[in-house]
Amino acid sequence: MTRPGIAVVAHSGGPTSVINASLLGIYEEAARHPEITLLYGAQNGIAGVLQEDFIDLTRQPKELMLQIGQSPSSALGSSRREVTAGDLERVIEIFRAHDVRYFLYNGGNGSMGTALQVAGAAREMQYDLQVVGIPKTIDNDLLETDHTPGYPSAARFFATAIRDIGADNLALSGQVEIVEVLGRNVGWLAAATALARSVPEDAPHLIYFPEAPLPTQKFLGDVDRVYSRLGRCVVAVCEGQLDENGEPFGADVRSGSRGSLAMNLAHRLAMLVASRLNVRARSEKPGLLGRSSALCVPEVDWNEARECGRAAIRAAVSGMGGQMVTLVREPDNLYRASTGLAALERVALLERPFPAAWRNQAGNDVTQEFVSYATPLVGAIARHQTLERHTVARRMSVQMSSERPAQNPPSTTSA
């Protein structure tokens, strides 16, 4: 029904482990629709569109595209460039010059705002263009979709990281570990670290959510309680966590268009713990590795990302522009999801916070409802095996020691 022409796909914002799977889906589905005469990829997102930096994806070998589909990061390159009114007009002129009739924009809620603007500009300029959004964000903060492609992979990365750092923390004990998780404004990824837990004593012992301020005294009290009980403590905290004064615990910050980002938050929290509770504390910040690793991609995430790409092409050639592809969870006991569509207006620039109902009363853990929501996406995180407790009877009189056996002296820090 739609006017034949070229389709352009562009990536926006931070890459994920599966955005290339969506690209693969687009590539595969585009080949099945004669309305799409050629498929172009814009290099480096909207910035590439504005420079006419297009790559002909139609000419890429199938085998290569299958391999690229399994690679993390963005094969096209992405961009954080924000568009101006002048940019929008230019985009439409460029599309007109190349006979581009389909524009697929793969990004988060900010990008859906851009997609909406492009669609509006085309309408104003009386240019026939189908604009379809494809969800992508590790933050899982898009409305109208059950979850976003990219989130399950990053969630699995951080949950696996917490499990492994937790095993290390258990083996050496006597230490507090603060693990910084991606997520500036929303706690979806921090929440997912709960899946690392098989028994209540497993890490993470505390999870915090940037949706709520975290008073310093509450934080220290929480850590102290866990440490007193277990002789160790692993904390998952978002990079954007703020204290009771709306400050990042004295961490350095970087300001940006979407708010400020604390750059060494976990380190500051570890310093707080060390100085105020007088215990060994350190911090880890896997950072961007959490969105760029290919080691923790759940099959569900990869398949869904690819399906979202395919669905976007189908929506575009059916004249369903102005919408974003969504993931719709079937109300079954077994996990199944299909794709749907939501108007760009309903998702653009809007943020879905981690639900207050899925935080526990103390504000330092998730509820079982969240675990039920996330487990089918992230997959089970197998616990490392432990030895059977065949202890040996002591033969010596017990030697008195001023040390607690679980703790190592704070002054000896050889690795």
Residues 349-378 within binding reach of a copy of itself (CB under 8 A): none
Position 252, amino acid: D
111 to 130: interface string for a copy of itself, x by CB under 8 A: --------------------
* Nearest alpha carbon to residue 308 among 59, 24, 38, 48: 24
At residue 300, φ and ψ (nearest 5 deg) are -55, -45
Helix (H, G, I), strand (E, B) or coil at 322: coil
List the one residue from 33, 81, 218, 329 that touches a copy of itself (CB under 8 A): 81
Separation of CA 86 from chain center: 32
Residue 139 known to be catalytic: yes
376 CB-contact burial (10 Å; exposed 0-12 / middle 13-18 / buried 19+): middle
Q: How far is the CB of 131 from a copy of itself (least distance, A)?
A: 20
Q: How far is the CB of 161 from a copy of itself (least distance, A)?
A: 5
Q: Is 80 in the site for a copy of itself (CB under 8 A)?
A: yes
Q: Is 344 in the site for a copy of itself (CB under 8 A)?
A: no
Could you tell me the two tokens for 265? 């938050």
Which letter does DSSP use for residue 117 in this model?
A: H
Stretch that binds a copy of itself, among 125-133, 206-214, 290-298, 310-318 (CB under 8 A): 290-298
Pairwise CA distance, residues 182 & 138, whole Å:
8
At residue 34, φ and ψ (nearest 5 deg) are -65, -20
List the one residue from 3, 32, 62, 67 that touches a copy of itself (CB under 8 A): 67
Total count of residues recorded for the chain: 415
Closer residue to a copy of itself, CB minimum distance, 337 or 344: 344
List the one residue from 31, 33, 37, 90 that touches a copy of itself (CB under 8 A): 90
Q: How far is the CB of 340 from a copy of itself (least distance, A)?
A: 25
DSSP string, 331-384: SSSS--EEEEEEEGGGTTT---PPPGGGB-TTSSSB-HHHHHHHHHHH---PPP
Q: Is 276 in the site for a copy of itself (CB under 8 A)?
A: no
Q: Is 94 in the site for a copy of itself (CB under 8 A)?
A: yes
Helix (H, G, I), strand (E, B) or coil at 84: coil
Q: Is 278 in the site for a copy of itself (CB under 8 A)?
A: no
296 to 325: interface string for a copy of itself, x by CB under 8 A: x-----------------------------
Helix axes 299-317, 368-378, angle to 10 degrees: 80
Out of 139, 222, 301, 365, the active site residue is 139
Q: Is 189 in the site for a copy of itself (CB under 8 A)?
A: no
Binders of a copy of itself among residues 27 to 66 (CB under 8 A) are: 40-41, 44, 47-48, 50-57, 59-61, 64
Kind plus residue range of the DSSP H or E element containing 36: strand 36-42
Q: How far is the CB of 172 from a copy of itself (least distance, A)?
A: 6
Stretch that binds a copy of itself, among 92-100, 126-134, 194-202, 327-335 (CB under 8 A): 92-100
Binders of a copy of itself among residues 374 to 413 (CB under 8 A) are: 384-392, 394-396, 399, 401, 405-406, 408-409, 411-413
Q: Is 5 in the site for a copy of itself (CB under 8 A)?
A: no
Q: Is 71 in the site for a copy of itself (CB under 8 A)?
A: yes
- Exposure string of 304-316, with b = 16+ CB inside 10 Å and e = fewer, is bbbbbbbbbbbbb
Pairwise CA distance, residues 245 & 243, whole Å:
5
Catalytic machinery residues: 139
